[in-house]
Structure 1
Amino acid sequence: MHAQARVDGTTPRSGSRPLVGSLLRLAGLLGLAAVLAAVVVFSLWAGTLEITPEELWAVFTGTGREVHELVIWELRAPRAGLAVAVGAALGVAGALLAALSRNRLADPVFGGAGFTSAAFVVLAVGAFRLTDFHAYIWFAFLGAALALIVGHFLPATRAPGHPLKRAFAAAGVSLTLAVVVHIATTRAPDTFAGSRMWVFGSLNAATGDRLAALAPYLGAGLLFAFVLMWPLRRIDAPGATRFAGEGGRNTLIRAGVALTLVILCGAATAATGPIAFLGLAAPALARMLVGDDVRWIAAYSAFLGPILLIAADLAGRTLDTTRELEAGLVTAVVGVPLLIVLAWRMRAGRT
């Protein structure tokens, strides 16, 4: 097939097309960064306490009222910061898991890792009375590792199967764990402050100290993720067999991706509880924008995840005037129909 001629009669160089595509994707990434910045500012402004834009600007410049500074810097800013960190972690984790499992319906939280991590944290707090974040986060890592091993690395689960069946099987396990966590936390409400967080996932526990404690873990996980993007792309390339090439290099790549998923899912769940479907929605939207390159999907998901999570948190805070809805509950309400649509498209052969 001949290249299409330009107006001047010459033909474009084939090498220019990938460059133009990369520049367009980079421009889109910068656009998402701007949208995320705007959403963060809006989340600082919106809430039950009405703050005008002028009063918000006064807080930024250090001349605001004391009550406004307290609300912005002690309540809303840590909440927005935690949403950015956890949203980026779960978005990137979703892109990694979809590439590793070759299953576009895979969600790191609803797929088992998040709810297993929450169950192990509840065990740590309830049985061992661990209340320090740096102590019980290791139980979250253990739960995420167990879920990933059982769900994706045992011989029985590594065998090829329809993605829809695997997704709903993982969902059944997650729902069972959610019921167990709910029973455990409601039977000991004094032990589990904010017990609904461990069932639905919430940003209510956001503090500056928690965000600072979380930062090293998520920073390491995101760094590992983007280092692994290039070798992972070869495994996830179109036409590649799911577990082709069981050589040492591919095994190391999969082990590195699994470790990264454990860090991202475990740390995010330890901070906010299991926020389901964010790791499904962000990569799905990214895939619509940039195609099937896992590197760009992960990069876009790192911005789409926080945008979606902040939007869900704002909806939970403002839609119901009688009580605040957990962000994870809002993502679930949106995520279940999304899962159905993606499953229908997959069954119809459109994805």
Structure 2
Amino acid sequence: MASLTRETGGKAPAAPRHHVARRGLGLLLAAVALGVLCLASIWVGTRGIAFTEVWGLLWHDDGSKDALVVHEYRIPRTVLGLVVGAAVGLAGALMQAVTRNPLADPGLLGVSLGASTGVITASAFAGVVSVLGQVWFAFAGAAIASAAVFLLGSAGRTRATPERLVIAGAAVTAVLYAFNSAVLLLQPRIFNEFRFWQVGSLAGRQFDVVAVVAPFVGVGALIAIALARPLNGLALGDEAARGIGVRVGPTRLAAALAVVLLCGAATAGAGPIAFVGLAVPHIARFIAGPDQRWVLAYSAVLAPILLLGADVLGRVLGSPGEIQSGIVTALLGGPVFLALCRRRKLVML
């Protein structure tokens, strides 16, 4: 593969046209499924509203209570699910590509919980209550947690293998979880404010939250798209990547910046969402192959499908209340994680 890439001037051989058409069709179908799921997310809720009425209210706000529910709660919740889902999916795909670790995930490696710790710390000790203020602490927490996991995973004379990174991530996650639990239990005000948010939830978030996190997710997504070709080079190994002109260090640094932006913004908006960033890139590679251009595109569409699907399922199963979407994704993702641990053939090819 490396020699073939050199012979083509540093570019991967073009895929057959029927493969490109198949991938494009699959992405289009996924986008259609996402659109249908968005309608379901706006329709389903604790307040029963007929679908035909919901459809009418989408285009005309008549000032009724049902219109208030649709426009002030369900639509912002759905848009936030799109933004957060895309962010977590892209972050997971980037982490797996850069580390060549099939078990890399913002949740497993402590990045999401690091962002969560930053938000809780800012609220408890600095009195920061606005999402715009909290998001900067989320970035700092995500960056510190990422650095801690990498340093622990690469300590000693051995390199940071996937297993060592997962173990380091589990250790950092345990410490951060204990710290967060202590803060929440000792400060009832903070506990009441974050008791649903800390498990990952889209409920109760309005457009002011979307307006804060969406620009950061947009910047992170643009960086991820720009890195698609260099990441294909990294898949060949560092030496081969350098041989075809990939700047390995700057590529990894840019990917780390994108992950911090994506995870920090997503966590500030909806709390730590588990396992979406782990499972979705594997599904994307199964459908589209190892080309990171397609993996990133599919991850940006499939992850919102999974998150919004979990959110709708939580509303249905928990009726007349609801089960938080982060809990549902964890229940769905646990078996996926066990399967990945047992089947190490799911490597970064």
The answer to whether TM tops 0.5 is yes
CA contact (8 A) 2:152 2:168 kept: no
- 1:8 is aligned to none
Cα distance, 1:60–1:134 mapped onto 2, change above 3 Å: closer
CA deviation profile, 1:221-278 (whole Å, cap 9, x unmatched)? 11111011111211124xx259974999211111111111110011111111111111
Distance in 2 between the 1:342 and 1:61 partners?
44
- 1:111 is aligned to 109
CA contact (8 A) 2:307 2:325 kept: yes
Distance in 2 between the 1:196 and 1:283 partners?
29
- Give the Å deviation of 1:198: 4.5
Distance in 2 between the 1:47 and 1:109 partners?
28
Number of residue pairs matched by the alignment: 333
Q: Which secondary structure state, in structure 2, belongs to the residue aligned with residue 48 of structure 1? A: coil
Cα distance, 1:16–1:175 mapped onto 2, change above 3 Å: closer
CA contact (8 A) 1:236 1:294 kept: no
- Do structure 1's residue 134 and structure 2's residue 132 form an aligned pair? yes
- 2:314 is aligned to 316
- 1:208 is aligned to 207
Greater displacement, 96-105 / 310-319: 310-319
Distance in 2 between the 1:167 and 1:115 partners?
14
Bigger Rg over Cα: 1
Structure 1 segment 64-213 matched on structure 2, within 5 A: 66-152=64-150, 156=154, 159-213=158-212
Out of 261, 273, 277, the residue aligned to residue 263 of structure 1 is 261
- Give the Å deviation of 1:350: 5.5
Greater displacement, 139-148 / 98-107: 139-148
Cα distance, 1:334–1:292 mapped onto 2, change above 3 Å: same
- Normalised by the length of structure 2, the TM-score is 0.88
Aligned residue type for 2:145: A
- 1:42 is aligned to 40
CA contact (8 A) 1:185 1:192 kept: yes
Gaps of 5+ in 2: 1-12
Cα distance, 1:153–1:20 mapped onto 2, change above 3 Å: farther
- Do structure 1's residue 24 and structure 2's residue 22 form an aligned pair? yes
Aligned residue type for 1:55: E
- 1:51 is aligned to 49
- Give the Å deviation of 1:206: 1.2
Q: What's the C-alpha RMSD, in Å, of the aligned pairs?
A: 2.4
- Give the Å deviation of 1:60: 2.3
Q: Which secondary structure state, in structure 1, belongs to the residue aligned with residue 190 of structure 2? A: coil
- Give the Å deviation of 1:61: 3.2
Aligned residue type for 2:199: F
CA contact (8 A) 2:150 2:165 kept: no
Q: Structure 1 stretches (4+) deviating beyond 4 angstroms?
A: 241-248
Aligned residue type for 2:289: G
Gaps of 5+ in 1: 1-14
CA deviation profile, 1:277-299 (whole Å, cap 9, x unmatched)? 11001111111111212221111
Cα distance, 1:61–1:350 mapped onto 2, change above 3 Å: closer
CA contact (8 A) 1:118 1:198 kept: no
Aligned residue type for 1:301: S
- Give the Å deviation of 1:178: 2.1
CA contact (8 A) 1:59 1:65 kept: no
Cα distance, 1:63–1:211 mapped onto 2, change above 3 Å: closer
Percent identical pairs in the alignment equals 38
- 2:219 is aligned to 220
Distance in 1 between the 2:17 and 2:342 partners?
34
Aligned residue type for 1:171: A
- Normalised by the length of structure 1, the TM-score is 0.88
Structure 1 segment 317-332 matched on structure 2, within 5 A: 317-321=315-319, 323-332=321-330
